[in-house]
Amino acid sequence: MTKFFHTLFVLIYRLLISLSALGGNAKAKKWMEGRKNWKSSLTTLYRENSTPVIWMHVASVGEFEQGLPVLEQLQKRLPDHRFLITFFSPSGYEQKAKHIKNADVMYLPLDTPWNARFFLDVVQPSIALFVKYEFWYNHLAECKKRKIPTLLFSAKFLPQQWFFKPLLRTFARKYLDTFFIIGVQDDFSMVLLEDLGMKRVFVAFDTRYDRVMLIKENNVYLPILDHFRQGKKRILVAGSTYPTDEEILKKMWDLELLDGMVIVPHEVNPERIEQIASLFEGQHLKATEIGENAELAAKTKILILDLYGMLSKAYRFGTLSYVGGGFNRGIHNVLEAAVYGKPVVFGPKHSRFAEAERLIEAGGAISIDSAEDFMEWLIDLDEHHDRLLKMGHQASMHIHLHTGGTQRVLLEISKILAIT
């Protein structure tokens, strides 16, 4: 019954995606186009393969960032293996596929029993790794049937999730029991799973902490931002912003409590860039307009970063950070900002994000409900100069205390590969 209902849901989902694509939805079109001819592409890649394969599946950009520290370490430790990375989301595939080194990259086929059988017949992975919230029952069940070990890591479970609803607990156990072992972010998640009857669970932390530490340690130099910060005492770097975030940033800017501001929207496309530019008309310059002009960058007060892939490095150049999404569906990656030892500010929708809750508890971040909240906090910083440094220190310490997840996951993988 589990397989039947899951497959029915998947087929209905595909129908809705198809209709959305026909209606002109660009993301739905990419989702469909990315899966065209996947069988022939996969067969071409693996027709004559005799090398052991490690398969990692991620949903999108965020999950890929969680999986990357594990992937990179496995590639170093197992140079005689081949690596396959599959994505579910077009945004994840399009942003990351071309930058992944020494691995095959493709979309995950639609999760039907027949697709799962074909996929595994061709790839024949030694192990399958899933990141955070990826529960594709047919692929997982087929792996279990073939005795291909599967590991889920960086998973976070909460009581309100469907797994723990009284009428769905039996169904949930069948879903989760397809995994050979599950690595969770915290003790609370482990207790929830053990209460559900799951036995093969270990605490592995969240590998995103390791990822942001690696980015920080690489210390990428961005000339335009280095020039921009010259002569400015208080710079706010606002990342992954939406229009609602930008309205708040505009109110803040008009209060003249900041010396400079860098804005990186969640979607870096011409339409969004122009939307921000019109909001700050006459007060901004785009990174592409400044180019390598150091003098122009230093004179600019509001810099719109209309370039891809710069956000995680841009936070380094601010004195405080704002992470967008908290006035929409939910905040984006707060760890990218916190790792640089700068206070982090975000909107109220963060209860589903354990890392944000932990960062507030550690004293390295605050949540605001309005521009007025933001204003009061900034004025308070003027009166208590040490508070900014203290919050930054707390943010940095929080990151250091939660690293190490990658090594825990690698230990479990080494155990599995040693016995299979």
pLDDT-based confidence at residue 59 (cuts at 50, 70, 90):
very high
Strand-pair category, 53-58 with 82-87: parallel
Mean local confidence (pLDDT), 204-217: 93
State the Cα angle at 209 between 204 and 213, rounded to 5°.
Answer: 135
Is pTM beyond 0.75 here? yes
3-class secondary structure, 407:
helix
Nearest to 322 by CA among 212, 208, 239, 396: 239
- pLDDT of the residue at 218: 87
Which alpha helices (DSSP H) does 234-316 contain, by range?
A: 243-254, 270-279, 287-290, 294-299, 311-314
- The rounded distance, in Å, linking the Cα atoms of 391 and 308 is 29
184: Cβ contacts below 8 Å, ≥ 6 apart: 155, 156, 157, 190, 193, 201, 202, 203, 204
3-class secondary structure, 362:
helix
- pLDDT of the residue at 54: 97
Nearest to 265 by CA among 332, 212, 353: 332
Q: Which amino acid is at 288?
A: T
Give φ, ψ of 93 to 5 degrees. -65, -45
Could you give all domains of the chain from N- to C-terminal order, each with its CATH number?
A: 2-205+404-419 (3.40.50.11720), 219-401 (3.40.50.2000)
Q: Is residue 387 a contact partner of residue 380, using CB atoms and an 8 Å limit?
A: yes
Residue whose tokens read 């399958």: 128
What percent of the chain stands above pLDDT 90? 72
Q: Is residue 106 a contact partner of residue 41, using CB atoms and an 8 Å limit?
A: yes
Q: Which amino acid is at 25?
A: N
3-class secondary structure, 415:
helix
Sign of CA dihedral 72, 78, 80, 85: negative
Tokens standing for 150? 């599967």
Q: Is residue 237 a contact partner of residue 262, using CB atoms and an 8 Å limit?
A: yes
pLDDT higher than 80, residue 334? yes
Tokens standing for 401? 């205390």
Nearest to 172 by CA among 160, 164, 181, 180: 164
pLDDT higher than 90, residue 249? yes
Query: For 347-386, how does the pLDDT look when each residue is reduced to its tens digit (9 = 90+)?
Result: 999 988 889 999 999 999 999 999 999 999 988 887 777 8
Q: Is residue 294 a contact partner of residue 223, using CB atoms and an 8 Å limit?
A: yes
- The rounded distance, in Å, linking the Cα atoms of 403 and 394 is 15
Q: Please spell the DSSP secondary structure of 127-140, one letter per residue.
A: EEEEESS---HHHH
Average pLDDT value over all residues in the chain:
92
User: Following CA atoms 201, 205, 208, 209 in sequence, which dihedral angle do they give, to the nearest 10 degrees?
Assistant: -170
Nearest to 407 by CA among 202, 191, 112, 241: 202
Query: For 379-406, how does the pLDDT look when each residue is reduced to its tens digit (9 = 90+)?
Result: 888 777 788 899 999 999 999 999 999 9
Query: For 26-42, how does the pLDDT look when each residue is reduced to its tens digit (9 = 90+)?
Result: 888 999 998 999 999 99
Residue whose tokens read 């299979």: 420
- pLDDT of the residue at 282: 82
3-class secondary structure, 281:
coil
Query: For 317-333, how does the pLDDT look when each residue is reduced to its tens digit (9 = 90+)?
Result: 999 999 999 999 889 99
Nearest to 56 by CA among 47, 48, 65: 65
Query: For 273-301, how does the pLDDT look when each residue is reduced to its tens digit (9 = 90+)?
Result: 999 999 998 888 888 999 889 999 999 99
- The rounded distance, in Å, linking the Cα atoms of 411 and 196 is 25
pLDDT-based confidence at residue 269 (cuts at 50, 70, 90):
confident
Query: For 217-235, how does the pLDDT look when each residue is reduced to its tens digit (9 = 90+)?
Result: 988 888 999 999 999 999 9
Sign of CA dihedral 53, 84, 217, 362: negative
Strand-pair category, 82-87 with 284-286: unpaired
DSSP state of 229: T
Strand partners, 346: 323, 367
- The rounded distance, in Å, linking the Cα atoms of 39 and 44 is 9
Q: Is residue 301 a contact partner of residue 230, using CB atoms and an 8 Å limit?
A: no
pLDDT-based confidence at residue 419 (cuts at 50, 70, 90):
low
319: Cβ contacts below 8 Å, ≥ 6 apart: 233, 234, 235, 236, 342, 388
Query: For 66-92, how does the pLDDT look when each residue is reduced to its tens digit (9 = 90+)?
Result: 999 999 999 999 999 999 999 999 888
